[in-house]
């Protein structure tokens, strides 16, 4: 074993099974001596090999079972891009490497989604502060407000934008231009 949540390609499948049994991840990175990522081994890879080749696979080196064709994220990959790739490829886990291909960690889809939600929440807070600077106040509308009500509020107060909230949580922003476009689409229907 090379390090936490990593294997060497010469480690046995039975050793990998013991590592899986002690951890919470369904994926182990296979790295060389320099911690360069050379493969991935999942619990499913082991199950497939067992189904195809029988119990003898537990003595095989993980290099006979692991995947070598890899999709990876880097430290600089945006959460959105990572999450979209994971969804597109039906991955539950994604290895993260540095610019030299050195393994850093494996992230799961929930971790990436949580990071994206945190990023969006932070952006919403910054936008609310920015709107307060430009409008001297933050103007709130509720998701339950009708288009007619929102249009009347914008006209009455001469608003250019407003924060959309649901149960006091920011869920979006709407501008007068967006409201006009939406109203035109409704009339066209």
Instruction: Summarize pLDDT for 107-142 with one digit per residue, the tens.
Output: 887 777 777 788 777 777 777 667 666 655 566 788
At residue 54 the predicted structure's pLDDT band, cuts being 50, 70 and 90, is very high
Per DSSP, the three-state class of 99 is coil
For the chain, domains (ranges, CATH) are 6-113 (3.10.580.10), 139-188 (3.10.580.10)
Q: CA geometry: angle at 131 spanning 125 and 136, to 5°?
A: 125
pTM, entire model: 0.59
């Amino acid at each position: 074993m090379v390090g936490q949540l990593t294997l060497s390609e010469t480690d046995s499948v039975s050793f990998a099974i013991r590592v899986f049994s002690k951890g919470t991840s369904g994926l182990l990175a296979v790295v060389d001596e320099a911690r360069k990522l050379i493969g991935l081994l999942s619990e499913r890879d082991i199950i497939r090999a067992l189904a195809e080749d029988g119990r003898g696979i537990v003595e095989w080196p993980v290099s006979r079972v692991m995947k070598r064709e890899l999709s990876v994220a880097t430290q600089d990959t945006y959460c959105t891009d990572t999450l979209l790739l994971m969804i597109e490829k039906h991955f539950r886990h994604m290895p993260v490497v540095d610019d030299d291909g050195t393994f850093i960690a494996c992230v799961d889809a929930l971790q990436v989604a949580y990071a994206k939600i945190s990023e969006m929440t932070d952006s919403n807070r910054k936008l609310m502060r920015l709107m307060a600077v430009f409008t001297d106040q933050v103007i709130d509308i509720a998701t339950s407000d009708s288009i007619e009500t929102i249009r009347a509020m914008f006209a009455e107060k001469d608003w250019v934008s407003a924060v959309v909230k649901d149960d006091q949580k920011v869920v979006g922003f709407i501008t007068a231009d967006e409201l006009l476009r939406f109203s035109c689409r409704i009339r066209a229907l």
